[in-house]
Homo-oligomer: A and B are copies of this chain.
């Protein structure tokens, strides 16, 4: 790939990441949340109570990030942490009733964000975009860190 195409690709990813995150942050702020929190809440909503390790894996981030996010969500009353029954090292995180209400709003917000995100597309259909993005995301997710050109 020549430099111009590479730069277009990398630069577009950078721009998309920044702007999308900024928009998400603006919307989440109305609920007192920050970017990343929605991933935890939606995961808990989709897959039920789970340990912080599982949350880290599901949210594509590292355990220390989960520690802080869960602490904030707990302080906000959206989530509760109880020691795991069979493993004294682990905590099981679950949604509170208040958390379940918040999830409803987060889901609406999440749909609004997606609508806004695709609102300005010029020549790309939403289906094309989603397919391309999910393909890329899956590719990056599974890839070993040393793959590709060296």
Contacts and interface: CB of A to CB of B under 8 A. Distances in A.
Given A5-B130, A113-B10, A123 B149 contact: no
A121 B136 contact: yes
Task: Report the contact-size class of chain A (Cβ under 8 Å from the partner).
Answer: 35 or more
Contacts of A128: 128, 132
Residue from the set A9, A117, A123, A141 with the largest chain B CB neighbour count within 10 Å: A9
A15 B112 contact: no
Contacts of A115: 1, 6, 148-149
A119 interface: yes
A133 interface: yes
A129 interface: yes
A19 B114 contact: no
Contacts of A18: 60-61
A18 B141 CA distance: 9
A130 B13 CA distance: 10
A20 B137 CA distance: 9
A78 interface: no
Given A1-B115, A135-B122, A21 B26 contact: no
A148 B14 contact: no
A132 to B, nearest CB: 5
A24 interface: yes
